[in-house]
Chain A
């Protein structure tokens, strides 16, 4: 079968776009690109099968972008948009080029990482509708994006951290150069005036740098101290501030004990760690953005007189009469007044096969209207929709987990007061018990602070995490939460979602064991109908037909003509003047599924012995009983081994699914899971996890749909495949790539190893402290020696953490 030159989908035989395109929209998009001389796009691009095809939808109403336009100055205006359907860099190039060739456009810039498009134009030369239409015509979907509301804060913080890191790095380098000059000059030919000048210069560079770059630590330390707690930032801030303050005093006195270099370098390394940590979790920040982008579609309201107005979903009210075009995402909850169509509810239920809907059925915000326009009466908007309900569930669950504190912070609660107490004791002891001046006593106390400076402690966890993160990255596993590794080590239960997690989320035709000639003939007949349709089950059927050899039975030529598709029901065609149908049971004149199970035994004994596994379609032909084609969502290639590996590690494995019982039982049986539950709603899943937690079990939840997001947030720790929708990826602590499930096992193993290393790191730093603190308190350690000792302990901790990179996986 030919592939559409524009979107790469199969071309149905009666396509409106001719022989080379699947629809009129694709043909128009192709010619638009060709006319602009940009057809090299088709050679440059690589289509991502995970992304929706770039198919222009003529029926989609234009969103009114006028209210989102920002006026930059007197002559230019700009519009911030989110683009859906980006496949690769070629799409970025195409969109930017098409936009920048529009008259009046000053600049068009599409950020590939965040999928945000900023377009600027001269006021009056063009208007936002024209610009957006030129991109929509290529097949990309645009959603307005309000840069003021979304993601600005965390982005600003990340940039501030980077700025602080660079400033600290600059200061550290320069102060270190000056210090090395002083050290090498000591005892040599450097006179005291030059040395003092060097110290003053160091102070001049270091103090503003510390004041600027250390704000992250200082403000955090002050904030927790105000609440009466301590965290790792308190000893860090105190050590830096005291070292800097003491060094300034020493500089004023013209003494030798100046340690600006230590303070600034420590600050620099700590900031590098913080920044890397923040970057690794950068993806998480788009959580709200995508949710809001889904909700910021538009609603086409049909007025009393039949006129259409397009309004933002926020302005919709219950009782409104709304038109939802084919391919449009529904922005409100409602009841269908007229029209039959298929609804893709994968976002809500995780079910990947569109369900057919008819007047009277309920539809929910966030679902996609696949095949025909619908008229809907609104029943709930905004905060009252099911989508908003799921988001609320997720937020509640996340707040529960936020109580979890990283090991380092828990240790710091005990460690920081102890260290400060010891330093204070040292100072008092030296002032009261010895005749030395208070400055010397303070120097000794600072030595204690520096030598106990929680560097090793502060590094113990992050270094292991960075190394583990690096090892994960090689395997395509992305660690998003700082405490996920620690939490992962303690789990005793693994909860798996079915569709899209344990399975690939793609229906496959079940070929019976004896695929005899009549069955093959029926398949060929069904194929003749199904190739006209873009419905996922039809596509799966044509794929199966091609895989089975793709030959039409030779004894009887099949020529089906006048094929047409009835949305929400099925296909109809004419074979030798007689009516053939392919579609759901009702469409083929069969009783309802519940009644059918009983009657079917007599006509189709072979098929009735199996439970209903998944989606099914019927073929009705003139001269024989209806034929049933069943589909199954096939498990990921290594699902059975992965489940077995989890069980070998002594973990309980549980499966929760929103799917029907038969399909869930079949999948559970196939991968070897004894404990499963079917027909779960998002809140059911959350309840199961809460019950597990109440019984003292710590669970790892693996899921991919929006319906899993609350459960992901409620679980002790959670993972999501990279094929999951963004919201689930954001709710999950760990995201893994690829079609296999062994990253779950790998992650658990690495977490256990990492846990061992963290513990040995803590042990190392405690042993080190036990040896050095008494020495420091007795005044045998100068601050310089203390700084050397501290660095050594840090290096030991880092070297220990690096062992994780060399360890082999034992899957």
Chain B
């Protein structure tokens, strides 16, 4: 049973770290625009050369 003395605090601390991480991400606005974030990944700068589209 003595192992509990280590395991329980470790479990709690890990849980608290996850909680703190979530609260931080919430505070930093990462949940503000779910729709935009889902689309944003498709519009990166490095998506390779694009065929030129000139008025003709």
Q: Hey, which bits of chain A sit against chain B, CB under 8 A? A: 5, 20-21, 30, 34, 39-40, 42-44, 88-90, 92-93, 97, 110-114, 159, 162-163, 166-167, 170, 173-174, 177-178, 190-191, 194, 201, 205
Contacts and interface: CB of A to CB of B under 8 A. Distances in A.
A154 to B, nearest CB: 13
A512 B12 CA distance: 79
A477 B56 CA distance: 44
Given A39-B52, A112-B33, A162-B31, A205 B12 contact: yes
Contacts of A112: 33, 35-36, 39
A93 B15 contact: no
B11 A111 contact: no
B36 A92 contact: yes
A586 B19 CA distance: 72
Contacts of B4: 194
A110 B33 CA distance: 9
Nearest to A204: B12
Instruction: Choose among B4, B31, B50 the residue with the greatest number of A CB atoms under 10 Å from its CB.
Output: B50
A191 B4 CA distance: 13
B11 A89 contact: no
30 contacts: A20-B56, A21-B55, A30-B55, A39-B50, A40-B50, A43-B50, A43-B53, A89-B36, A89-B40, A90-B43, A92-B39, A92-B43, A97-B45, A110-B36, A111-B36, A112-B33, A112-B35, A112-B39, A113-B32, A113-B33, A162-B26, A163-B23, A163-B26, A173-B15, A174-B11, A177-B11, A191-B1, A194-B1, A194-B4, A201-B8
Nearest to B8: A201
B50 A89 contact: no
B15 A170 contact: yes
A44 B43 contact: yes
A30 B50 CA distance: 16
Contact of A89 (B12, B42, B53, B54): B42
A111 B12 contact: no
Contacts of A205: 12
Interface in B7-55: 8, 11-12, 15-16, 18-19, 22-23, 26, 31-36, 39-40, 42-43, 45, 47, 50, 52-55
Contacts of A177: 11
A192 to B, nearest CB: 12
Contacts of B52: 39
A167 B19 contact: yes
A67 B19 CA distance: 40
Contacts of B40: 89, 92-93
A557 B22 CA distance: 72
B43 A39 contact: no
Given A162-B26, A174-B11, A174-B15, A93 B43 contact: yes
B33 A111 contact: yes
Instruction: Choose among B11, B19, B31 the residue with the greatest number of A CB atoms under 10 Å from its CB.
Output: B19
A38 to B, nearest CB: 10
Contacts of A30: 55
A5 B31 CA distance: 35
Nearest to A20: B55
A177 B8 CA distance: 10
Given A92-B40, A92-B43, A166-B23, 17 more contacts: A5-B55, A20-B55, A39-B52, A43-B50, A43-B53, A44-B43, A89-B36, A89-B42, A97-B45, A112-B35, A112-B36, A166-B26, A167-B19, A170-B16, A170-B19, A194-B4, A201-B8
Nearest to B12: A174
B43 A89 contact: yes
A302 B50 CA distance: 48
A43 B47 CA distance: 13
Given A170-B15, A173-B15, A39 B36 contact: no
Contacts of A93: 40, 43
A30 B55 CA distance: 10
A97 B47 CA distance: 14
Contacts of B1: 190-191, 194
